[in-house]
């Protein structure tokens, strides 16, 4: 989820360390994020218990052919 420009987003740095370099990270505004999560294409939701602000993560996966 997109964070304010003056917010230091430490969790995003952690995500970037864990994900491969070629993974695209796209920031969505709150309303767009919620709409994407509520989509019929959403198959799994995991509540991690992470309490830091702007730590929501929406992973998009596609089949590898």
- What is the Cα 63 distance to its own chain's centre? 19
pLDDT tens digit string along 29-65? 999 999 999 999 888 888 888 888 888 888 888 777 7
pLDDT given at position 49: 86
Nearest to 64 by CA among 17, 14, 22: 22
Position 50 scores a pLDDT of 86
């Amino acid at each position: 989820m997109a964070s304010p420009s003056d917010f230091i987003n430490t969790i995003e740095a952690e995500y970037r360390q864990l994900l491969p370099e070629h993974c695209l990270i796209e920031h969505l505004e709150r309303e767009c994020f919620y709409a994407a999560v509520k989509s019929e294409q959403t198959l799994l939701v995991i509540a991690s218990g992470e309490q830091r602000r702007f730590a929501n993560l929406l992973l998009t996966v596609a089949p590898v052919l």
